Amino acid sequence: MVQPRVVVVGAGPAGVRCAEQLVAAGLRPVVIDEGRRDGGQIYRRQPEGFTRSYATLYGSEAERAAALHRGFDAIRDRIDYRSETLAWNITAGELHVVRDGIASRIGFDALVICSGATDRLMPVKGWQLAGTYSLGAAQIALKSQACSIGREVVFMGTGPLLYLVAMQYLKAGAKVAGVLDTSRLRDQLKALPQLLARPRLLRNGLSFISSLRAAGVPVLSGIEPLEIKGLPEDGVRSLVFRDKGGATREIACDAIAMGYHLRPETQLADLARCAFRFDAETRQWFPEVSLEGRSSVAGVYLAGDGARILGADGAENAGRLAALSALSDLGIPVRRAQVDELIARQQKMDRFRRGLVQGFPWPVRQAAQLPDDAIVCRCESITAGELRHVAREMGACEANRAKAFSRVGMGRCQGRYCGQAGAEIIAHATGVPVELVGRLRGQAPVKPLAIVTHEEQE
């Protein structure tokens, strides 16, 4: 009997646990990974030959990272693992990938997309200067290149990742010039009942803040970013912000890492023609997905932060659930008790997620207050004023129409870093609810490609 072909995109927490579950059922899944090694972003492995300890690299997440890596190593010879391979398009029953300039199409009976997430960013005047990074990029520099993004680094934004990355830099011996949080302490206190759903994670977050302060790092909440100052020839020199008391302050630095939670990588789900829904709590668009990982398209399953942002352990759970759903739909028996147990865990994690949304809100007011000369789209150098002009004067009140008129989101990142803030600017400028502004549609290729030499079909 010919085995069904299951393709998993991504080898982060969701992808690894999904592959494990498929292997346990006797299948040999194809695992497509854009990275050089497994682990995804949060548990990104250091390059071969690097010898830093798990505790140094991952801090409080060291045990979970080690467990995930061991899990992958245990199934490595029982999966078809294709690293440094970009999944760039989906057509009926086929995944299009490219590696080393050679394109190929992989047919599938079931496709599990574990595409992960990227930083959710809110522009600030001057953020196009060299030395401004996302929190995720700052992590990559530390884990993959063993270096700091600067000599004096400011971490700015909100959410757990802000404190995690700042703490990782501190443990690595880097100079942390400050941790500036746009959320307010009273928001976090209101969210405590939901955050207590996962006391261990809450304790970890509080310990990060305590350790940073004990090391003499300024940790400020309720701030409002005003401008990143510097020169085009030498980059960032300082950050100007308004503190919670209303005073304007300036902090010297040569690098800034910023981020406001995460945004799902939904391009592949879009190309697979999955339905999307607007989440009013986070003011984001997510693909529709059941707790078991089924999308609106038969044979396509979604797991991890690319579908529902619940953190690394939530992604692991979701990967297992998606695998079990795919197996069941392919006629391979699964234990219902295991499915029910995993769903119960997901629901508990979702309560904690809602607490994070309440305690560390997306700073929508910043979009309204962004000056006209501030860059919104760094790829195409489109300013807030230009975006407001096409919205007000040219009637471009919908995200894709605004893209056509202004080129916002048309650059290398395809709107990953400016799309959501751009929608907020349009919404405020025109008085249209942000959900009616919509979202930038996914386009193939999902990332820039080198010219391919030929295409192979599998």
Q: Is the pLDDT of residue 451 over 90?
A: no
Higher per-residue confidence, 65 vs 29? 29
Letter string b/e over residues 336-349, b meaning 16 or more CB atoms within 10 A of that residue's CB: eeebeebeebbeeb
Please indicate, yes or no, whether residues 232 and 176 belong to a single structural domain of this protein: yes
Chain CA centroid to CA 175, Å: 25
Q: Which two tokens stand for residue 454?
A: 């030929």
Cβ-based neighbour number of residue 137 at 10 Å? 17
Residue 313 lies in domain: 6-118+263-356
pLDDT of residue 397: 94
Please indicate, yes or no, whether residues 11 and 114 belong to a single structural domain of this protein: yes
Please indicate, yes or no, whether residues 148 and 234 belong to a single structural domain of this protein: yes
CA angle in degrees (0–180, nearest 5) for 194-302-316: 55
List pLDDT tens digits, range 33-78: 999 889 888 888 877 777 778 877 777 778 888 899 999 999 999 9
Q: Tally the domains of the chain.
A: 3
Residue 400 forms part of a structural domain: yes
β-strands 110-113, 235-242 pairing: unpaired
Residue 396 forms part of a structural domain: yes
176 secondary structure, DSSP code: E
Cβ-based neighbour number of residue 233 at 10 Å? 6
Q: Is the pLDDT of residue 454 over 70?
A: no
Task: State the CATH number of the domain containing residue 389.
Answer: 1.10.10.1100
The amino acid that residue 75 corresponds to is: I
Name the domain boundary from 329, 356, 383: 356
Task: State the CATH number of the domain containing residue 288.
Answer: 3.50.50.60
Please indicate, yes or no, whether residues 127 and 196 belong to a single structural domain of this protein: yes
pLDDT band at 383 (very low <50, low <70, confident <90, very high): very high
Q: What is the DSSP track for 300-330?
A: EEE-GGGT---HHHHHHHHHHHHHHHHHHHT
CB-count exposure of residue 214 (10 Å: 0-12, 13-18, 19+):
exposed
Residue 453 forms part of a structural domain: no
d(CA 170, CA 231): 27
pLDDT of residue 46: 77
Residue 237 forms part of a structural domain: yes
Share of the chain above pLDDT 70, in %: 98
Residue 454 forms part of a structural domain: no
Q: Is the pLDDT of residue 453 over 70?
A: no
Q: pTM for this one?
A: 0.92
pLDDT band at 1 (very low <50, low <70, confident <90, very high): low
pLDDT band at 264 (very low <50, low <70, confident <90, very high): very high
Q: What is the mean pLDDT of residues 247-253?
A: 97
Q: What is the DSSP track for 83-116?
A: -S-EEEEEETTEEEEEETTEEEEEE-SEEEE---
Q: Break the chain down into helix, strand, coil percent, rounded to 5.
A: 40, 25, 40
Residue 195 forms part of a structural domain: yes
List pLDDT tens digits, range 356-378: 999 999 999 999 999 999 999 99
Residue 449 forms part of a structural domain: no
Please indicate, yes or no, whether residues 254 and 276 belong to a single structural domain of this protein: no
Please indicate, yes or no, whether residues 246 and 282 belong to a single structural domain of this protein: no
Mean pLDDT of the chain: 93
Cα pseudo-dihedral 300, 305, 310, 315, rounded to 10: 70
pLDDT band at 146 (very low <50, low <70, confident <90, very high): confident
Share of the chain above pLDDT 90, in %: 77
pLDDT of residue 327: 97
pLDDT band at 16 (very low <50, low <70, confident <90, very high): very high
Please indicate, yes or no, whether residues 190 and 237 belong to a single structural domain of this protein: yes
What SS3 class is residue 155? strand
| Cis before 4 (ω within 30) | no
Please indicate, yes or no, whether residues 134 and 102 belong to a single structural domain of this protein: no
Residue 75 forms part of a structural domain: yes
Please indicate, yes or no, whether residues 186 and 95 belong to a single structural domain of this protein: no
The kind and range of the H/E element at 365 are helix 364-369
Sheet strands side by side (includes 86-91): 86-91, 94-99, 102-107, 455-457
Is there a contact between 43 and 60 (Cβ–Cβ < 8 Å)? no
Cβ-Cβ contacts under 8 Å for 331 (sequence gap 6 or more): none
Please indicate, yes or no, whether residues 297 and 219 belong to a single structural domain of this protein: no
Please indicate, yes or no, whether residues 251 and 175 belong to a single structural domain of this protein: yes
Name the domain boundary from 260, 278, 310: 260
Please indicate, yes or no, whether residues 240 and 160 belong to a single structural domain of this protein: yes
Name the domain boundary from 356, 379, 410: 356
